[in-house]
Amino acid sequence: MSLTAKEKREYAFLLYKDGSFTQKMIAEKVGAAEKTISEWKQKDNWDAKVKSIKQTREENLMELHNQWAAINLVIRNEQKGVPNASQADIIKKLAASIRDLENEVGYTEAYQVLKKMMIHIQKMDHDKAKELIPFVDSFMQELLKYAV
C-alpha cells in the first residue's frame, strides 16, 4: 500500500511531533528524501505546530469539566439550581464534547500506544519486534488515511 504525497507529509509530521525520530529516520519511514523532510519542516512550520499541540486531550477534558463546574456554580448560587435555556444548551454541548474526547482515539493516541507496545515487545523478543514493524507501520498509514 503506497501513500500519497499528502499522506507522506502528514505521516512525517506525526513522526516528527513524537520527537523520537531524526529527519533521516523520518525520511526512511515515509519513503521521502531527507531534503524533502527538511523542506516540509520549514514550509509547514513544524516546530510552531508542535508547540501549539502541547495541550493534551486530558488538559482539554479538564478545561471542559471546569467550564461545566463554573456554569453549575452560577446555576446553584444565582438561580436556585435551575438552568435557563441557554445554560442548558451549553451543558448539553459540554457533555457532548467531553463524551467525544473521552471516547475518540485518534492516530496520535494510537501511535503512542503502539510505540509503547513495540518497546515492550522489543524487551521480550527483539526479533519479533522487528518482524512486527511493517504491520505497525501499515496500520498507522491506514489510520492516517482516515484522519485526513
Q: Helical H runs in 23-106? A: 23-30, 34-43, 46-52, 57-78, 85-103
What pLDDT was estimated at residue 100? 79
pLDDT at position 77, please? 93
The whole-number average pLDDT for the span 61-84 is 92
What's the pTM value of the predicted model, to 2 decimals? 0.44
pLDDT grade for 53, boundaries at 50, 70 and 90:
low
Distance of CA 58 to CAs 61, 73, 114, Å?
A: 5, 22, 19
First to last CA, the chain: 16
**Per-residue model confidence (pLDDT) at position 105:** 65
Q: How high is the pLDDT of residue 148? A: 44
The yes-or-no verdict on residue 54 having pLDDT over 70 is no
Average pLDDT over residues 17-44: 92
Among candidate residues 32, 1, 2, 86, the one with its CA nearest the CA of residue 15 = 32
Range from 1-5, 59-63, 81-85 carrying the lowest mean pLDDT: 1-5
Mean pLDDT of 116-136: 92
Give residue-wise pLDDT tens across range 73-119.
Answer: 999 999 999 999 999 999 999 998 888 777 666 667 778 888 899 99
C-alpha distances (whole Å) from 107 to each of 59, 130, 133 are 18, 21, 16
